[in-house]
Amino acid sequence: MNSEKASASEKPFGGKPLEHLREAIEAGRRQATSDSDCLLILTHRGPDPDAIGACEGVRFLCDQVFGVPAKVATAGEIHRAENLALVRVLGLEFLNYDHIDHKGYFGAVLVDTQPGFGHTIVPEDIPLLAVFDHHVVPNTEGEGAPAQVIPHKDVRLGIGATATILYEYLRESGKPMDATTATALFCGIRYDTADLSRNASPLDEEAFYATFRLADREKITTINNPPLPRVYYSELHSALSLAKQHGALVICLLGKVSHPEFVAEMADFFLRMKGASWVVVGGASEKEGSYVLSLRTDYAFGNAYPLMERILDSDGSFGGHGHIAGGRIAMDDIGESSVASIERSIRKRALAILGTNEDDLPPEGRPLS
């Protein structure tokens, strides 16, 4: 069976994913040109709770089940308060990808993302042995080198969180997970599925309750209610001023933002508005040299992925699943005119989906107040 097409209730690799992963890692270690016995775990830039939790699941699986030392390395900074609290409260150890010695690893595992996503770094000198994800891969047909052959690729589009996939591996191993791993996995599942209200499968539901029973509930409360920096309120004020509602659409193009995770946070925030069925939020990140987009839809409106494809119109890379999609447009110049040009195109395409011409709207649009 092709694991990319596996449904939420089906296990890939002939129903034995745990053994298939073990064999892929052992084969990678035998074929390694270096003397290292350590595995490298990677994810996308600025990891969210699902990526963080899934990385911890892989680390526990390797260390405690396979007996293979594993370390997590991340690229880009973590900014969102809840994500920082997750790392801090659980005492998670992440290496800085830019400072690691690549010769110290015989292979790598990629979590909550895939090669080809614009926010993901895949090392050329470390064999990629496994991928775990639940997103639709970007359409990069005809671009660059042929697709890399990955020994163990578990991509399940019907699952709400990558952390859920790792929970299944740990369940099958029979090895009881510790409270730290369980808490990390639980937070990944709860945030990516909005407490099982979004894109959740029966396996997500099982994983949600199973990890919660083993998790540290006091730490969950601390993670869920972290202190917020002053800049958050400043940018929230700006977002409320810039957001416009056009029927079922709320669009908020923020210009420059202090960190890209704020874009996704605002997309979730505005989807709660009465009358909103889909939301487009964007902002330019100077540190990453890109314009970041987040798109959310409610259950009535349908999938977010095809909407993001139309809004980007081949201008950048994107991915998504269910009612969530994210995209990035690389920018050589983050000046105001360049950002404004991108935002004009995004607004025009979003309104075109509604069958609305921007020229027919009042200059100020329809403010929220």
Burial 108-143 (b: 16+ CB within 10 A, else e): bbbbbbbbbbbbbbbbeebbbbbbbbbbbbbeeeee
Q: What is the pLDDT of residue 347?
A: 95
Q: What is the pLDDT of residue 3?
A: 46
How do residues 161-188 score in pLDDT, each as one tens digit?
999 999 999 999 999 999 999 999 999 9
How do residues 5-61 score in pLDDT, each as one tens digit?
455 556 789 889 999 999 999 999 999 877 889 999 999 988 999 999 999 999 999
Q: What is the pLDDT of residue 147?
A: 63
Q: What is the pLDDT of residue 143?
A: 46
The percent of residues in the chain predicted with pLDDT above 90, rounded, is 68
Do residues 191 and 247 both lie within one domain?
no
| pLDDT classification of 360: cutoffs 50, 70, 90 | low
Do residues 162 and 246 both lie within one domain?
no
The Cα-based distances of 197 to 123, 194, 266 in angstroms read 36, 5, 18
Do residues 273 and 214 both lie within one domain?
no
Burial 241-256 (b: 16+ CB within 10 A, else e): ebbbbbeebbbbbbee
Domain that holds residue 56: 3-224
pLDDT tops 50 at residue 290: yes
Residue 365 domain-assigned? no
Do residues 191 and 260 both lie within one domain?
no
Do residues 261 and 115 both lie within one domain?
no
Closest by CA to 261, choosing from 309, 326, 214, 307, is: 326
Q: What is the pLDDT of residue 4?
A: 45
What is the SS3 assignment for 292-321? EEEEEECCCCCCCHHHHHHHHCCCCEEEEE
Residue 260 domain-assigned? yes
Residue 367 domain-assigned? no
Do residues 153 and 54 both lie within one domain?
yes
Residue 185 domain-assigned? yes
User: Which H/E stretch holds residue 46?
Assistant: none
Question: Cα dihedral angle (182, 184, 188, 194), rounded to 10 degrees?
Answer: 80
- The residue-averaged pLDDT of 186-191 equals 97
How do residues 90-118 score in pLDDT, each as one tens digit?
999 999 999 999 999 999 999 999 998 87
Do residues 203 and 334 both lie within one domain?
no
Residue 369 domain-assigned? no
Do residues 192 and 265 both lie within one domain?
no
Tokens of 19: 């053994």
Of the three residues 178, 205, 224, the one that is the final residue of a domain is: 224
Q: Which bin fits 123, alpha (ψ -120 to 50), beta or left (φ > 0)?
A: beta
Residue 27 domain-assigned? yes
For the chain, how many structural domains are there in total?
2
- The CATH code of the domain that includes 135 is 3.90.1640.10
The tally of CA atoms less than 13 A away on the side-chain side of residue 114 is 26
Residue 366 domain-assigned? no
Do residues 144 and 219 both lie within one domain?
yes
| pLDDT classification of 299: cutoffs 50, 70, 90 | confident
- The residue-averaged pLDDT of 123-135 equals 94
Query: Considering all CA atoms of the chain, what is the largest pairwise distance in Å, rounded to the nearest integer?
Result: 66
Of the three residues 191, 224, 257, the one that is the final residue of a domain is: 224
Of the three residues 224, 243, 275, the one that is the final residue of a domain is: 224
Do residues 16 and 159 both lie within one domain?
yes
Report CA 296 to chain centroid distance, whole Å.
14
- The CATH code of the domain that includes 308 is 3.10.310.40
Tokens of 66: 């396979």
Q: Where does the chain have alpha helices with state H?
A: 17-31, 49-60, 81-90, 162-173, 179-192, 202-214, 217-224, 230-242, 261-271, 305-312, 336-353
Q: What is the pLDDT of residue 206?
A: 98
How do residues 250-266 score in pLDDT, each as one tens digit?
999 999 998 888 999 99
- The residue-averaged pLDDT of 73-82 equals 88
pLDDT tops 90 at residue 245: yes
Residue 241 domain-assigned? yes
Q: What is the overall mean pLDDT for the chain?
A: 89
Residues β-bridged to residue 327: 293, 318
pLDDT tops 80 at residue 73: yes
Do residues 41 and 145 both lie within one domain?
yes
Rg, C-alpha atoms of the chain = 21
Do residues 201 and 286 both lie within one domain?
no
Q: What is the pLDDT of residue 359?
A: 53
pTM of the model: 0.82
- The residue-averaged pLDDT of 212-229 equals 95
Residue 232 near residue 258 (C-beta atoms within 8 A) = no
- The residue-averaged pLDDT of 198-217 equals 96
Tokens of 172: 């099958």
